[in-house]
A and B are shown apart, each in its own frame.
Chain A
Amino acid sequence: MSLSAPLDTAASSPGRGGPLAGLRAWWTMLVICLEERLAYRGDFILGTLMRFLPIVTQVFLWTAVFNATSRPDIAGYSRNDIVAYYLLTMVTRAFSSMPGLSGGIACSVRDGSIKKYLVQPVDYVGFLLAARIAHKLVYYAIALLPFAGVFVLCRGYFPTAPDAGTIAAYVLSLVLSFLLGFFMEATLGMLGFWFLEVSSIIFAYMLVQYLLSGHMFPIDMLAGIPTGIAGVTAADLVRWLPFEYTAYFPAAVWLGKIHGADLVRDLAIEAGWVAVMAVACRIAWWRGTRRYSAFGG
């Protein structure tokens, strides 16, 4: 319709409805976010390479631990197992870590740019998800080569490749770990509606996350630690929390440490947490925007 059209037709809202339209909008968001990420590729490449450093220090640390002890393994992990484990958690973290997500949300609440998402007919959580997928895709495109290099160099540390079923479970656990990380951090960021500054909350979360996700040590090392409840170890407790699914769990699946009914149960727990956090994120957005509308704007 042209601008010069008469009133009656001009007033009718232009539109293509249906569920497909929502999907198309989301896809366009994804593509535009991709373009935006690529505008920063230089910064991105450096950031990607820097992420390999902590893993290298972890490998050195554990090598020193094994050198200092005469035991062939610690809690069931040989030296090779440990290196393989850390490389695999690095892969999980590449899916589940969400740099800048919560801080970014809190920041847009503080500086008011969140308004745009109240005025436009667009779903903010959906937009954030599209932006994050774009972010990850660009990251993988850049990180693929260095990752592949490291895995080829370190192939001797890995046991033989797992069977197809395990690989399928592994891929599923990785996808779920991405969603879990996304919804947890998005919910955290929406606390910005209640608190002016969320960086200390994010810091506390990171600390707990670092300890209980398996980032620092494999979670099954906690299996020997009693909790005071008969027959329940610390590892059993952690299993019911969301954290280990953002680092430990997929790695343990690949290494063949979890199978059969246990594997199904843990995947179900992970999926359950994704659902819980997705709902929590929605509620936080809904209540947060209501609060924002009532108090400030």
Chain B
Amino acid sequence: MGRLRGVAKVFPYTSRMHNSNRRGTGAGTAVIEVDGLAKQYRVYDKPEGLLASVKGLFHRTSRLVEALRDVSLTVEQGEFVALLGPNGAGKTTFLKLLSGIITPTRGTARVLGHVPWERADDFRRRFALVMGQRNQLWWDLPAAESFRLHKEIYRIDPARFDRTRDELVDLLGVRRLVLQPVRELSLGERMKLELVAALLHEPEVLFLDEPTIGLDVVAQHTIHDFLREVRTRRRLTVILTTHYMKDVAALCERVVVITHGRILHDGPLAEIVDRFTTHKIVTLDLDATPDPGRIERFGFPCEVDGPRVTLRIDRTRIADVLPEILRSEGVRDVSVEDVPLEEIVAELFRAAAPPEPAGAAR
């Protein structure tokens, strides 16, 4: 056991599957490899009414729900990946699979060379999962006590523990909170301490399930800065699910969009904007409120707000139209912007057609 652990320390990402020449070099090291991962749940329908409930004692109808259909992806060390998707798309199921809480119906996954759902202690010491509303902190005790417990269960060297804790706590500015019972803290304060607890054992992979849900803008910013800082300092690999485009824009260069249990898009954020936007938003500042006829001339949907006019212009035509607009009289200022990320993503979710049902009622 001692020998094996030693090897694992030197070659952190070496496994039966990997060539040893991939070890430790950083770039190009696959930390997460997922192939054809699928997860079905059986759910029981419970019809309304007392009579139906009595019938349900003898015969229950169930159906299969495909939370995840066929997901394959590879995440390299140090990547920061956002999982986007509407509620029920399979994001949380995916994180649960990667952290070994559930076993898949089909497919394979390796995280840090381990099959997650085998739940080996060696694996569990090397990653962390933070679920937005579930706490690993003890409710009635100060966070410092939970930290102390983590120190022991993750077997962290005492000197190293002190240093890591101080550094994390200072980065988030929560030093004065660690001695207060957790139940007395605000949601944002609790989330920050959850993050500290999750990172004390210096995990190599971090899964975050909606880390900024319900937090105010300031707390969101603090957490963004913190995650960015920790990630660059440690080359941490992070996968996060979120509904806030601010999280994505601030943190993730790679975005995986999941709808109906399948990957709809996987690539840089800019690529999504590129691929899924058909329009640009052009805002004109005119010297006076324009006549309706003067704007309609351009032939695009528009909004007029006093001397300010907002046009949605087809991307393929922008190069032709813009000079014409600029030449027209009374234009004092022009700005050309992409459609807001929220709008693009909302459109993306809507456009994804639900696939055929997974299993017939039984």
User: What residues make up the interface of A, taking CB atoms closer than 8 Å to B?
Assistant: 1-5, 7-8, 10-18, 21, 24-25, 27-29, 32, 35-36, 39-40, 112-113, 115-116, 118-122, 290, 292-297
Give complex CA distance A25, B145 in Å: 13
B204 at interface, CB cutoff 8 A: yes
Q: B42, B121, B131, B164: which contacts A121 (Cβ < 8 A)?
A: B121
Question: Mask for B13-31, Cβ within 8 A of A = 1, else 0?
Answer: 1000000000010100000
Write the chain B residue with the least CB distance to A112: B134
Instruction: Give the one of B26, B163, B234 with max A CB within 10 A.
Output: B234
Question: Mask for B129-142, Cβ within 8 A of A = 1, else 0?
Answer: 10100101010110
B9 at interface, CB cutoff 8 A: yes
Q: B12, B148, B163, B230: which contacts A28 (Cβ < 8 A)?
A: B148
Give complex CA distance A36, B138 in Å: 8
Contacts of A12 in B (CB 8 A): 9-10, 12
- Asked whether B126 lies within 8 Å of A13 as measured between CB atoms, the reply is yes
Give complex CA distance A296, B92 in Å: 12
- Asked whether A1 lies within 8 Å of B124 as measured between CB atoms, the reply is no
- Among B152-160, B259-267, B305-313, the stretch that binds chain A is B152-160
- Asked whether B157 lies within 8 Å of A297 as measured between CB atoms, the reply is no
Q: How distant is A277 from chain B, measured CB to nearest CB, in Å?
A: 24
CB pairs A–B below 8 angstroms (21 shown) = A2-B163, A13-B8, A13-B9, A14-B155, A15-B157, A16-B157, A17-B5, A18-B2, A21-B152, A21-B155, A25-B155, A28-B148, A32-B141, A32-B149, A35-B141, A113-B134, A115-B134, A119-B128, A121-B124, A295-B41, A296-B41
Instruction: Give the one of A2, A116, A119 with max B CB within 10 A.
Output: A119
- Asked whether B5 lies within 8 Å of A2 as measured between CB atoms, the reply is no
Extra inter-chain contacts (11) besides given A15-B9, A32-B138, A122-B153, CB under 8 Å: A1-B202, A2-B164, A3-B233, A12-B9, A14-B202, A17-B5, A25-B149, A39-B140, A119-B101, A119-B124, A294-B102
Contacts of A27 in B (CB 8 A): 152
Contacts of A16 in B (CB 8 A): 155-157
The answer to whether A120 and B157 touch (CB under 8 A), given A14-B201, A28-B152, is: no
| Interface range on chain B (Cβ under 8 Å from partner) | 35 or more
Write the chain A residue with the least CB distance to B181: A39
Contacts of B153 in A (CB 8 A): 25, 28-29, 120-122
B235 at interface, CB cutoff 8 A: yes
- Asked whether B234 lies within 8 Å of A3 as measured between CB atoms, the reply is yes
B91 at interface, CB cutoff 8 A: no
Contacts of A294 in B (CB 8 A): 102-103
B253 at interface, CB cutoff 8 A: no
- Asked whether B141 lies within 8 Å of A7 as measured between CB atoms, the reply is no
Write the chain A residue with the least CB distance to B168: A3
B114 at interface, CB cutoff 8 A: no
Q: How distant is B326 from chain A, measured CB to nearest CB, in Å?
A: 50
Contacts of A8 in B (CB 8 A): 24
Q: How distant is B218 from chain A, measured CB to nearest CB, in Å?
A: 23
Q: How distant is A290 from chain B, measured CB to nearest CB, in Å?
A: 8
Contacts of B154 in A (CB 8 A): 14, 120-121
Q: A10, A14, A112: which contacts B157 (Cβ < 8 A)?
A: A14
Give complex CA distance A28, B151 in Å: 9
Give complex CA distance A122, B1 in Å: 17
Question: Mask for B42-58, Cβ within 8 A of A = 1, else 0?
Answer: 10000000000000000
Q: B10, B103, B125, B233: which contacts A4 (Cβ < 8 A)?
A: B233
Give complex CA distance A113, B135 in Å: 8
Contacts of B102 in A (CB 8 A): 292-294, 296-297
Give complex CA distance A8, B13 in Å: 11
B212 at interface, CB cutoff 8 A: no
Q: How distant is B5 from chain A, measured CB to nearest CB, in Å?
A: 6
Instruction: Give the one of A13, A36, A40, A296 with max B CB within 10 A.
Output: A13
Pick the 6 closest A-B CB pairs, nearest first: A297-B102, A25-B152, A12-B9, A121-B124, A28-B152, A11-B12
B96 at interface, CB cutoff 8 A: yes
- Asked whether B8 lies within 8 Å of A36 as measured between CB atoms, the reply is no
Give complex CA distance A15, B156 in Å: 5
Give complex CA distance A21, B8 in Å: 19
Contacts of B26 in A (CB 8 A): 7
B210 at interface, CB cutoff 8 A: no
